Structures are given as C-alpha cells and as structure tokens.
Amino acid sequence: MSSSIRDGVLGIVLGYRRGLNRQYVNQVYIKVLTQIENIHSLIGRRVRVSDNYGNTYLGRIIKVHGSGKNRVVIAVFSRNLPGQLIGIEATIF
C-alpha cells in the first residue's frame, strides 16, 4: 500500500448511480485515485466532498462497484450532491 488510509484517500466523483428509469441522486460513483491493495477495505469509510462555496457534504461508502478492478465505489450521502460537483475531488477517510 503506497498510502495509509489514515492519511486520506483521494477520489473523483464520477456521477449519480442510475437505474433504467431513474437516477439515485443521493448515491454517487467515486473513482479511487490512490493505490490501495484491497479496495473492499474502504467499505464503511466516510467521504467528504467540498464545493467552491464552502459547503461540505459528508457520506459513507456502502459498496464496491463491480469486482473492484476498476477501483470505483458507491457512496451514499444524506444531503444530495448537486450536479455541479460531478468531477470534483473527494476525500475518503
């Protein structure tokens, strides 16, 4: 592991989780940028996303998207993330 999880793991918000007929705006895909040996160890960790106006959104990782090879996780937020935050950096701690 090149970076400790205690130091924080960086990721990028990819977009909302979507179904065939709707999108789940309180759940987002996050691409993990930091090299981690076991992506499944991030389940249950907290996520912080901040915008340019100082608003902070806190969430929690609930599952890994797919088998984990693509290093994408799904995070759920109590306050929905606005669409302007897609592509913004997220911190997993």
Does the pLDDT at position 3 exceed 60? no
pTM of the model: 0.90
pLDDT digits (tens, 9 = 90+) for 17-69: 999 999 999 999 999 999 999 999 999 999 999 999 999 999 999 999 999 99
14, burial (CB in 10 Å: exposed 0-12, middle 13-18, buried 19+): middle
Closest CA to 31 of 80, 83, 4, 70: 70
Output the domain CATH number for residue 12.
2.40.10.190
Q: Which residue segment(s) compose the domain that 77 sits in? A: 5-92
How many angstroms separate the CA atoms of 59 and 22, rounded? Answer: 21
Please give the DSSP secondary-structure letter assigned to residue 5: G
Number of domains in the chain: 1
How many angstroms separate the CA atoms of 66 and 2, rounded? Answer: 23
Please give the DSSP secondary-structure letter assigned to residue 66: T
